[in-house]
């Protein structure tokens, strides 16, 4: 099956999100992390191929080295979305990108080889969890006192294996994946937690609003109404 082409409609969507980020302090290398996260949760994860084509037509990605650096960031974003949306859609996304990649642009590095659920992994995961949840960390993990497998998975796998890994994406990059992937699924509680967490790691309210607006725009493109998620203003008193 042919990969999703970069249609004029997709190109317009990507350009709109890219332009939104020009009014933020988030830089020009994060808007596409939001988009790839949204696509991972969307009905059409294969649109990731169109995103890759849109990006690689830009002046910044005209060498194999720059395209390899780009795919490392896109790939790590997709890896992180595995624990947020499930494995199948991120697989569709990365395989769709592979179909439009030039062979010489492929990057064969990996990040989780030799991983173990050891004390270092636990400490790294809990440290990042506490940065996102701060004073609510204990109470939030305590929600799973009667469901301890969920607490273990949260600490060792969600945060240890996936979200705290900093080999490719930094703290802000990570929240530009996590919040959009969760919000795109119309999840009210966890969207609240991660709007709050994104604010707590230092992203301004104004920039979080642009993130929120961007996720809504991508979801609307695919016909999804995010009617359950809280607004940035509603979460702000809890920050």
pLDDT confidence of residue 222: 98
Residue 108 confidence (pLDDT): 98
User: CB–CB of 175/34 below 8 Å?
Assistant: no
pTM to 2 decimal places: 0.97
Please provide the DSSP assignment of the chain as one string. -PPPP--HHHHHHHHHHHHHHTTSSS-SSSHHHHHHHHHHHSS-GGGHHHHHHHHHTSGGG-SHHHHHHHHHHHHHHHHHHHHHH-SHHHHHHHHHHHHHS-GGG-----S-TT---SHHHHHHHHHHHHHHHGGGHHHHHHTTTT-HHHHHIIIIIIIIIIIT--SS--HHHHHHHHHHHHHTTT-HHHHHHHHHHHHHTT--HHHHHHHHHHHHHHHHHTT----SSPPHHHHGGG-
Residue ranges of the domains in the chain? 8-106+117-238
CATH of domain 8-106+117-238: 1.20.1290
Q: Look at residue 5 in the predicted model and tell me its pLDDT.
A: 82
pLDDT (tens, 9 = 90+) of the chain, 239 residues, equals 556 689 999 999 999 999 999 999 999 999 999 999 999 999 999 999 999 999 999 999 999 999 999 999 999 999 999 999 999 999 999 999 999 999 999 999 999 999 999 999 999 999 999 999 999 999 999 999 999 999 999 999 999 999 999 999 999 999 999 999 999 999 999 999 999 999 999 999 999 999 999 999 999 999 999 999 999 999 999 99
């Amino acid at each position: 099956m042919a990969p999703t082409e970069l249609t004029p409609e997709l190109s317009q969507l990507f350009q709109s999100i890219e332009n939104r980020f020009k009014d933020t302090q988030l830089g020009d290398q994060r808007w596409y992390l939001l988009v790839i996260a949204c696509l991972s949760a969307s009905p059409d994860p294969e649109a990731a191929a169109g995103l890759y084509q849109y990006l690689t037509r830009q002046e910044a990605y005209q060498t194999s080295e720059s395209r390899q650096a780009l795919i490392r960031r896109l790939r790590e974003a997709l890896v992180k979305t595995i624990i947020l949306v499930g494995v199948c859609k991120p697989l569709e996304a990365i395989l769709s990108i592979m179909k439009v990649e030039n062979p010489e642009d492929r990057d064969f590095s990996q990040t989780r080889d030799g991983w173990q659920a050891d004390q270092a992994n636990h400490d790294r995961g809990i440290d990042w969890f506490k940065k996102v949840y701060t004073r609510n960390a204990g109470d939030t993990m305590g929600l799973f006192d009667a469901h301890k497998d969920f607490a273990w998975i949260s600490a060792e796998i969600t945060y240890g294996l996936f979200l705290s890994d900093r080999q490719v994406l930094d703290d802000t990059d990570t929240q530009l994946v996590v919040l959009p992937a969760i919000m795109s699924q119309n999840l009210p509680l966890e969207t609240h937690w991660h709007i709050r967490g994104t604010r707590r790691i230092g992203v301004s309210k104004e920039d979080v609003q642009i993130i929120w607006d961007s996720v809504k725009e991508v979801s609307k493109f695919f016909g999804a109404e995010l009617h359950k998620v809280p607004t940035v203003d509603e979460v702000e008193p809890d920050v």
